[in-house]
Amino acid sequence: KRDLEDPSSAHFGFLPFYKHLILVFSVINSQIHTSSGLAAKDHYKVLVLGGGSGGITMAARMKRKVGAQSVAIVEPSEVHYYQPIWTLVGAGAKSVASSVRSTVSVIPSGVTWVKSKVAEFDPKNNTVHTDSGKKISYDYLIVALGLELHYEKIKGLPEGFEHPKIGSNYSVKTVEKTWNALKNFKEGNALFTFPNTPVKCGGAPQKIMYLSDAFLRKTGKRSKANIIYNTPLPKLFGVKKYADALWEIVKKRDLNINLRHNLIEVRADKQEAVFENLDKPGETEVYKYEMIHVTPPMGPPAVLKGSSLDDAAGWLDVNKNTLQHKTYANVFGIGDCTNLPTAKTAAAVAAQSAVLDRTVSRILKKQTPDKIYDGYTSCPLVTSYNTVILAEFDYDGQPLETFPVDQSKESRVMYHMKADFMPLLYWHGLLKGLWGGPGPYRTIMHLGMK
């Protein structure tokens, strides 16, 4: 062992082979993990649908409850992304590579991975059908399918991304295009949009605006830029305390905000974007741009829409307090695919996971769920390359702040927490089923008071 670790060792040349051997064993282990899942049994005590943040953390938690052999996770993708960091990737502050892990590396050891897409639900028979033709039955089902991006609902997209000067931080395919558009900006309008649908991380569309402003100032181009944020919403941010703070930043930095403006078309070849005025139906306005960041319309997973598990809008229909399905008592939901009336964020998933863990535990014991989810969610509003306003709030849009300071103030400490600490907490805490949100720490920091 000393010889392999000591550069002065006569055997140091063996190190590359040693590392290669570890890699080979790692790959073999991955294949065993994967193939065993593909050839696995057809019934599980707990079946988890989706390998995003909600699915992985609940698989880890359920493994501790019922044993790894009794848990399976259905997920088609071979890669897992830490998407919150893409805001900083789009601004050139982080790399895409820092957001990526293999799916096999984040699935809890021993848990079966069914590498397929969900094709159909049959909750009356406690069964799920996959696109590979597999039929899997369960005692308990956890749905964590996330949401879907719909660039195609904007005329001219997604094909418009083949042109320069356009990007989107919401897809791994387009996030680096945002950075390319920003660093190559010369003169004109820098446009930033928000869709007329529910979104994940509702603050992200304006975070990249603040970062772009900071970058253009740093590079001496700000005087040649007209920064515009067009949103269909009637307000800048949903929680007044943070909205007031953001309006102050907007005024101070000479940013232009147009409320009730919805993007309906991108003419990438002409560098034009068309918006409809929601307060004046039928009225449209064309904006020329030197750069545009598009936030796509979003919606529930297609497989959920029209199933017996969705609400009228296509989202998973769950009790907002317990995360248990309103019709099927052995079905539960977490994260972006649900109709929980709170912002769709990774922070919300963390808090929901702790509640859902307790809910399932009680159900397993034939007891009534007793832990209530208060809608906690968080949005670290990045306002520059070294400042963040850490918004935390509940179902009612009331601030639910963890730290005993005014979090509506820009903070360098909060920036480093967003950029450096939260990724570690995600990979090593949330995905391991060990992080259920800051609730207990909030109580301590506020001396027992909310």
> Crossing angle, helix 204-218 and helix 175-183, to 10 degrees?
30
Please say whether the beta carbons of 72 and 39 come within 8 A.
no
Query: Could you say which of 262, 279, 297 is where a domain stops?
Result: 297
* The one catalytic residue among 379, 381, 419, 430: 379
**Domain of residue 63, residue span:** 43-147+300-446
Q: Is 337 one of the annotated active-site residues of the chain?
A: no
Q: Are residues 286 and 316 in the same domain?
A: no
- Which residues touch 106 (CB under 8 Å, ≥6 apart)? 51, 56, 80, 427, 431
Same domain, 326 and 441: yes
Of the residues 238, 266, 297, which one is the last residue of a structural domain?
297
Confidence (pLDDT) at 448: 60
The answer to whether 154 and 297 have CB atoms below 8 angstroms apart is: yes
**Any domain includes 390:** yes
The rounded distance, in Å, linking the Cα atoms of 393 and 402 is 10
| Residues 314 and 217 grouped into a single domain | no
Residues 313, 423 within the same domain: yes
- Clarify whether residues 239 and 312 are in a common domain: no
What is the Cα 266 distance to its own chain's centre? 25
Task: Say whether both 276 and 322 belong to one domain.
Answer: no
Q: Produce one character per residue of 61-95: b if its CB has 16 or more CB atoms within 10 Å, e if not.
A: bbbebbebebbbbbbeeeebbbbbbbbbbbbbbbe
Note whether 128 and 155 are same-domain residues: no
Q: Taking the model in full, what pTM does it have?
A: 0.90
For residue 52 the two structure tokens come to 């995003």
pLDDT for position 336: 98
- Domains identified in the chain, total number: 2
| Helices 346-364, 53-66: crossing angle, 10 deg rounding | 30
Contact 299, 151 (CB under 8 A): no
Q: Which residues of the chain have pLDDT under 70?
A: 1-40, 447-450
From the candidates 201, 316, 347, 350, which is the catalytic residue?
A: 201
CATH of the domain at 426: 3.50.50.60
141 shares a domain with 157: no
- Kindly state whether residues 311 and 226 are assigned to the same domain: no
| Alpha-carbon distances of 124 from 127, 325, 327, rounded to whole Å | 8, 13, 10
379 is catalytic: yes
> What phi and psi values does residue 327 have, to the nearest 5 degrees?
-110, -45
Q: What is the largest CA-CA distance in the chain?
A: 78
Residues 121 and 169 grouped into a single domain: no
The whole-number pLDDT of residue 30 equals 44
> How far apart (Å, rounded) are the C-alpha atoms in residues 331 and 341?
19
249 with 203, same domain? yes
Would 345 be classed as within a structural domain? yes
Q: Which two tokens stand for residue 217?
A: 């100032």
Residue 350 lies in a domain: yes
